[in-house]
Amino acid sequence: MDIKKISRSFKDISLSFEPHPVTKDLPIIRNENAIKRSVRNLTETMFTERFFNSLIGTGVRSTLFEFVDYGSASSIESQIIATLNNYEPRIENIIVEVFPSPDDNTFEVTVIFDIKGQDFPTQEFNFLLEATR
């Protein structure tokens, strides 16, 4: 018999590190916003970038310097799905859509997922991946 772990709420510290003006505490991001931030951070983290676990991350940044086409988009999509399945246990039913834009040298990424243990609606957010020089 499998036991499912169900979380009640989720909290993370804001990466802005700007203290609250009155309490001087670091701001807290809660629930779906915390998970969205985590998903985006995992997506944009390169291998060896995290000191204590060099296996966390994707090879998405190196793919940005290849051709901007559907082959590269498929590679980015599979890397993001594998990383989220391995390192973000709070989400399920992950769908990643990557659309190349060769004229702008960018990829538009849409990540869709459900949050485990809560009755939140299906979450979706978009962002652009572009090579920086």
Instruction: Name, in order, each residue with C-beta under 8 angstroms of 80's C-beta and a sequence gap of 6 or more.
Output: 43, 58, 60, 96, 98, 109, 111
The verdict on residue 2 lying in a domain is no
Q: What total number of domains does the chain contain?
A: 1
Domain that holds residue 60: 11-130
- The enclosing domain of 65 has a CATH number of 3.10.450.40
The verdict on residue 48 lying in a domain is yes
pLDDT single digits (tens) 35-88: 888 888 888 888 888 888 888 888 887 777 777 788 888 999 999 999 999 999
Model pTM score: 0.79
